[in-house]
Amino acid sequence: MAKRILSVFEKKATENFPFKDAEFEAVGLSLKKEVDKVFGRSLAIRELDSGSDNSTEIELVNLTAPHYDVERFGITFVASPRHADVLIVTGAVTLNMATAAKKTYDAMPNPKFVVAVGDDACGIGILNNSYAVLGGAEKIFDVNLKIPGNPPSPKDILKGILALTKKISEIKK
């Protein structure tokens, strides 16, 4: 009983939790400058789940949560492909989703940029070569950037988006 009472006063594991990630902040600020330069203050992203296990989507949603708050860097997720600058594809493209994925891509305005996020979308996941899977995103899209990982961390996704904006900036020159 005394041990339980004393445990209330012990130092907790969460007390040393870092609320700021300096590297994430630095990448985000660099991204904000690139987004302002390339896209004119905001970058609209449409996420397309083409047959994933949902792990990559969880990390993408984490980007919009208060801890990361990616909107402060000019990144927004939009509901319609008609409003999107970038299409993020997650999961291996299943045979059943191929037509819907193509229609989503076709609905986007030009110029169109596609990012494959996660091992399955990059064509290297465990679902590749399955009987119901067409393959990675490159099977139906011209993929501009691949962000591997199972799942990639929010920081890795942000670094990938920064790499894409730098790549677009170089093309525009």
Where residue 139 sits, what CATH number does that domain have? 3.40.50.12280
The CA distance from 168 to 140, in Å, is 21
Tell me, yes or no, whether 160 lies in a domain. yes
Tell me, yes or no, whether 4 lies in a domain. no
Tell me, yes or no, whether 22 lies in a domain. no
> Residue 49's closest CA among 91, 79, 84, 83?
91
Tell me, yes or no, whether 21 lies in a domain. no
Tell me, yes or no, whether 3 lies in a domain. no
Q: What is the pLDDT of residues 116-155, one digit of tens each?
A: 999 999 989 888 878 889 989 999 999 999 999 999 999 9
pLDDT at 169: 87
> Residue 161's closest CA among 47, 22, 83, 79?
47
Model confidence, pTM? 0.85
The answer to whether the beta carbons of residues 124 and 147 sit under 8 Å apart is no
Residue 45: give the domain boundaries: 38-172
Residue in the structure block whose two tokens are 């193509």 = 102
Tell me, yes or no, whether 33 lies in a domain. no
Number of domains in the chain: 1
Tell me, yes or no, whether 30 lies in a domain. no
User: Could you give phi then psi for residue 133, rounded to 5 degrees?
Assistant: -115, 130
The answer to whether the beta carbons of residues 142 and 71 sit under 8 Å apart is no
Q: What is the pLDDT of residues 102-112, one digit of tens each?
A: 999 999 999 99
Tell me, yes or no, whether 123 lies in a domain. yes
Instruction: Establish whether the linkage from the previous residue to 154 is cis, with ω within 30° of 0.
Output: no
pLDDT at 4: 64
